Amino acid sequence: MRNYKDFLSTKLNYGSSVGIENITIPDKLFDFQKAITRWACKKGRCAIFADTGLGKTFLQLVWANNIVNEIKGKIIIFAPLSVNEQTIDEGKKIDIKVSRYDIDDDVKIKICNYENLDNINFNDYVGIVLDESSILKSVSGKTRKKLIELSQGLKFKLACTATPAPNDISEIANHTEFLGIMKREEMLSKYFVNRENKGTGWEIKGHAITAFYKWMSTWAMFIKYPSDLGFKDDGFILPELNITGEYFDFEYKKDDELFSSGLKGITDRLNIRKQSISTKIERIANEINQSNEQAIVWCGLNEESTVLHKLIPDSENLQGSDTEEEKIRKIKEFKRGKIRVLLTKSKIAGFGLNFQNCHNMHFFGMSDSYESYYQCIRRCYRFGQKNPVNVKIWLAGEESAILDNVKRKEKTSQDTFNNVIKYVKDFEKDELNPTSHVKEIYKMEKAKTLNYEVYLGDSCEVMKDLKENSIDFSVFSPPFASLYTYSPSERDLGNCQNNDEFFEHFKYIIKELLRVIKQGRLIAVHCMNLPTKLVNHGYIGLLDFRGDIIRAFQKEGFIYHSEICIQKNPQAAAIRTHAKGLMFKQLHKDSSDSRQGIPDYICVFRKRGDNEVRINTDLNNEEWIKLAHPIWTDIRETNTLNFREARTDKDEKHMCPLQLDVINRCIRLWSNKKEVVFSPFMGIGSEGYEAINLDRKFIGIELKQEYYNTAIKNLDVACANKKDLFDLVV
C-alpha cells in the first residue's frame, strides 16, 4: 500500500507529459518565447493560446523542429491556406526548414491547408500542429471530427490560436479531446455541473474553479502580454487603436412591411448588406482614393469587392476563386508595398497573416462574428506595429445593431479572457518554473471539552494519533464520490475521479478504523447505491456502492455483522433530484426507464475478537422488536441538524446530514453510557450531538472549516442541553 502522501500526489491527476527533454532554442526568440517553447516540448501535447503578434509561428516551428530532431520522424502543420507561405518564410528567419506537404523532399516539417486534410496519410507523421486551432470550436464540424479521429495515433500534438473562447466549454473540450488530454464527458463530469433546469447550461462547480484552471495550465498557456508570465513587456506595448463607425441613412424593410421591424435574422442581415452597396460604395472609394497610404478593405460579398476594385485604381481583389499561386503573389506584394489597397474577405486573409506594413482598414459592413472582427483588426494591430491603427466601419441604417452586438461580444470575451489570465497566471508561472510550486492550504485545529474532542483536519492523518483499541463505537456517513461538491481539496474523500480511486482513498480510513476500534465492537456506516449519469458513466443505472463498501471493509478484516434498509420517499427524491426514472412524465412516456426510489442503508461491521465490556442497552423488548426489523420505515427524513449556516456559495449540493433518529438508535443499541463514539467524517456534528445527548463522549474529525465551526456550535448546544437536564434533575 502506498504512502498516503504519495497517493495524494497522484490524486486528481492534473496532467501528464509525453514530450522530450533535450531542447534547442534559437537565440532570436524572446525570453518568454523560449520559456513557453521549453514547456511545450516537455509536454509534447499542449495548446498555446497567445495573442496576435506574440510569435506563435516561431513557437510551433521550434517545437516541431525539436520533436523531429529527437524522434527522427516528420511533423505536419495544418494552417489556413494564406498562412502557409508565411510560415515557410518565418522558418527561414530561424533556420528551420518547412515545405509543402505535396513536395517530395527530405524536409521533416510539412505544411498543409485544412482543405487538403483528406490528402494526408497520418501514418507518415509522429506529430501534428494546428495553426489557428479555433477551427476546433465547431461541435459538429466535419473538419474537427476528422482532425480528432485521424490524429488519434500521433504522440505529439500542438494547438495554437490567438482567439480561444475560454468560457466556451465546447471549444475547451474539443481542444482537450484533440490533444488526447481528456474526453469531453470526463471533463464535464469532473469540473462542471449542468444547470439546464435553471436555463444557464453547464457551469464550473464552485469548488472546482481553482482546480479547473490549475488543470488547464498543465496543457495550455493563456497569454496576452509577456508580463502575464512574469516577463517584461518591452517591445510588446501596442500603439493607439482608433475605431470609428461611419453611418449612412438607409431604410430597410421587407416587401410585406409598411415600416421596418428591425433585423430579425441572417436573411435580413444579408439583404440589407446587398441593398446598401450602392449607398456606401462611392463614399468608401473616395475616402480611400484621397489617401496614398496602404489600406485593407474587408468585404463580405463578392459584389462589394468587385465594384470597389473598379473604383480604386491601385487596388487588388484577393478572392476565393484565385489560384493558390495568385493568392500567395497578392499577399506578398501587399506586404512589400507593391499593392496599396487589398480588397478581400475575412475567411481568406483574416487569420494568421502579418500585415504590420499597413495601419489603415475598412469594414464594408459587418457580420455578427466577433472572432472574424477581432482577427481582421489584428492583422495590422499586432505586436510589431509602429503606427496608430485606424479602423473605419461603414454601416447603413439598422446595420448599427450588428456592430452593437459585436461590441457586446467583445466586452464579454475580453472580460472572460482577463478573468482566465487572473486565475491561471500563477499556475502557468509554476508550470514554467516548477520551483515555485503553488501549495494547497491545509489547516489543522483542535477543540476539547469534557464531552467532546474534535479535530479540523484530514482523517487519514489525524486518526494515526488516536490510541489503538480506544473507540467503543463508530457511526458515520462517508462522502459519496462526487467531485468538488463540498471542497476543492485532494484530501476530500469525495474528490475522486472514479470508484477505484475512491476506495483506494477510503482504504486508509478503514485500516485506521480497524486499529482504533475495540475488539468485538461495531462500526455503522451509512450509504446508498448511487445513480449513474449518461455524461459521467455512459449509461443511466445504478452503482452498487453499498456492496463495494461491504467488500472494502471485509477486505481489511472486518466481519460483515448486520444491515438495515431505511425507506425513503420516492416523490421527495424526484422533486429534489429531478431523477428521470422517478418522474410521472417518464412513467407515462416509457416506463422501461422508470425505477424505484433508492433507499439508505446502515451497514454494520464488527472487529474480530471478544467484546470485553458487555453493552447494557436501555432498549426495551418492544423497541427491540421495531429495531430488529431489517427495514426501518418510520425514519423522519427531515429530522436533521440545520446545515444551512455551514453551506457556502461554492457548495454544489445541499449537505444531507444523517437523520438524528438513525444515529440515536444505533448509539443506544451498540454502545454504553460514558463510552466513546467516533466519526471520521463529522460534518456539522450530528453523530456527536446525539452521542452527548445520550450521555456518551464524542471524538470527531472534519476537513472543511465551515462544517467544523458549525459542528462545535451544535456540540456546545448538546452540552448545554445536558447541563440543563442535570440542573432540572437536581
**194 — pLDDT class (breaks 50, 70, 90):** confident
C-alpha triplet 237, 88, 92: angle, nearest 5°? 75
Query: Is residue 673 in a domain?
Result: yes
Is the Cα torsion angle 397, 296, 164, 53 positive or negative in sign? Answer: negative
Q: Which of 177, 196, 229 is the last residue of a domain?
A: 229
pLDDT at 416 over 90: no
pLDDT at 260: 54
* Domain, as residue range, for 577: 468-704
Query: Is residue 15 in a domain?
Result: yes
Query: Is residue 435 in a domain?
Result: no
Question: Do 40 and 186 lie in a common domain?
Answer: yes
pLDDT at 436: 47
pLDDT at 724: 58
The CATH number that applies at residue 321 is 3.40.50.300
Question: Do 402 and 501 lie in a common domain?
Answer: no
Question: Do 209 and 261 lie in a common domain?
Answer: no
Instruction: For residue 496, report the phi and psi dihedrals to the nearest 5 degrees.
Output: -125, 145
Q: What is the pLDDT of residues 160-177, one digit of tens each?
A: 998 666 556 778 888 999
Q: Please return the burial class of 517, using the count of CB atoms within 10 Å of its CB with bins 0-12, 13-18 and 19+.
A: buried
Question: Do 252 and 208 lie in a common domain?
Answer: no
Query: Is residue 719 in a domain?
Result: no
pLDDT at 256: 57
Closest CA to 7 of 460, 483, 513: 460
Rounded to whole angstroms, how far apart are CA atoms 135 and 125?
21
Q: Which of 197, 229, 261 is the last residue of a domain?
A: 229
Q: Describe the strand order of the beta sheet including 295-299 as a list of residue ranges.
A: 241-248, 389-396, 360-364, 295-299, 341-345, 315-317
- Amino acid (one-letter) located at 371: E
Query: Is residue 439 in a domain?
Result: no
**729 — pLDDT class (breaks 50, 70, 90):** very low
| CA-only gyration radius of the chain, Å | 33
The CATH number that applies at residue 156 is 3.40.50.10810
Question: Do 510 and 604 lie in a common domain?
Answer: yes
Instruction: For residue 43, report the phi and psi dihedrals to the nearest 5 degrees.
Output: -70, -45
- Amino acid (one-letter) located at 570: P
Question: Do 487 and 403 lie in a common domain?
Answer: no
Query: Is residue 352 in a domain?
Result: yes
Is the Cα torsion angle 170, 176, 179, 180 positive or negative in sign? Answer: negative
Rounded to whole angstroms, how far apart are CA atoms 125 and 64?
11
Q: What is the pLDDT of residues 44-73, one digit of tens each?
A: 999 999 988 899 999 999 999 999 999 989
Question: Do 595 and 615 lie in a common domain?
Answer: yes
Q: What is the pLDDT of residues 496-552, one digit of tens each?
A: 888 899 999 999 999 999 999 999 999 999 999 998 877 667 788 999 999 999 999
Mean pLDDT in the chain?
A: 89
Q: Please return the burial class of 448, using the count of CB atoms within 10 Å of its CB with bins 0-12, 13-18 and 19+.
A: exposed
Question: What is the DSSP track for 467-485?
Answer: PTT-EEEEEE-PPPS-TTS
Q: What does DSSP assign to residue 320?
A: T
Query: Is residue 236 in a domain?
Result: no
Question: Do 187 and 276 lie in a common domain?
Answer: no
Question: Do 496 and 597 lie in a common domain?
Answer: yes
- Beta-carbon count within 10 A of 519 CB: 12
Question: Do 23 and 62 lie in a common domain?
Answer: yes
Question: Do 211 and 245 lie in a common domain?
Answer: no
Instruction: For residue 246, report the phi and psi dihedrals to the nearest 5 degrees.
Output: -110, 120
What's the whole-number mean pLDDT along residues 234-262? 78
pLDDT at 77 over 70: yes
pLDDT at 290: 95
Question: Do 665 and 534 lie in a common domain?
Answer: yes
Q: What is the pLDDT of residues 328-343, one digit of tens each?
A: 999 999 999 999 999 9
Q: Which of 229, 255, 284 is the last residue of a domain?
A: 229
User: Which residues are CB-contacts of 682 (< 8 A; sequence separation ≥ 6)?
Assistant: 454, 476, 688, 700, 701, 702, 707, 708, 711
Selected residue with higher pLDDT from 536 and 187: 187
Rounded to whole angstroms, how far apart are CA atoms 557 and 145?
50
DSSP three-state, residue 398: helix
Low-confidence winner among 11-25, 275-289, 665-679 (lowest mean pLDDT): 11-25
Using a CB cutoff of 8 Å and minimum separation of 24, what contacts does 7-15 make?
Answer: 7/504, 7/505, 7/508, 8/490, 8/491, 11/490, 11/495, 11/496, 11/501, 11/505, 12/211, 12/490, 12/495, 12/497, 13/497, 14/211, 14/214, 14/215, 14/218, 15/43, 15/181, 15/215, 15/218, 15/219
Mark 570-597 as b/e (b = at least 16 C-beta within 10 Å).
beebbeeeebbbbbeebeeeeeeeebee
Selected residue with higher pLDDT from 132 and 695: 695
Instruction: For residue 291, report the phi and psi dihedrals to the nearest 5 degrees.
Output: -110, 155
Low-confidence winner among 49-63, 342-356, 568-582 (lowest mean pLDDT): 568-582
**728 — pLDDT class (breaks 50, 70, 90):** very low
Helix (H) or strand (E) holding 330: helix 324-335
**254 — pLDDT class (breaks 50, 70, 90):** low
The CATH number that applies at residue 668 is 3.40.50.150
Beta strand ranges found along 571-662 (DSSP E): 600-606, 631-632
pLDDT at 173: 87
User: Which residues are CB-contacts of 711 (< 8 A; sequence separation ≥ 6)?
Assistant: 454, 682, 683, 684, 685, 688, 700, 702
**199 — pLDDT class (breaks 50, 70, 90):** low
**What is the total count of domains within the chain?**
3
Contact 528, 565 (CB under 8 A): no
Query: Is residue 665 in a domain?
Result: yes
Highest mean pLDDT pick, 152-156, 231-235, 604-608? 604-608
β-bridge pairing 471-476 and 676-679? parallel
**Residue ranges in 339-442 assigned as alpha helix (H):** 346-349, 370-377, 400-432
Q: Is pTM beyond 0.85 here? A: no
Rounded to whole angstroms, how far apart are CA atoms 538 and 184?
12
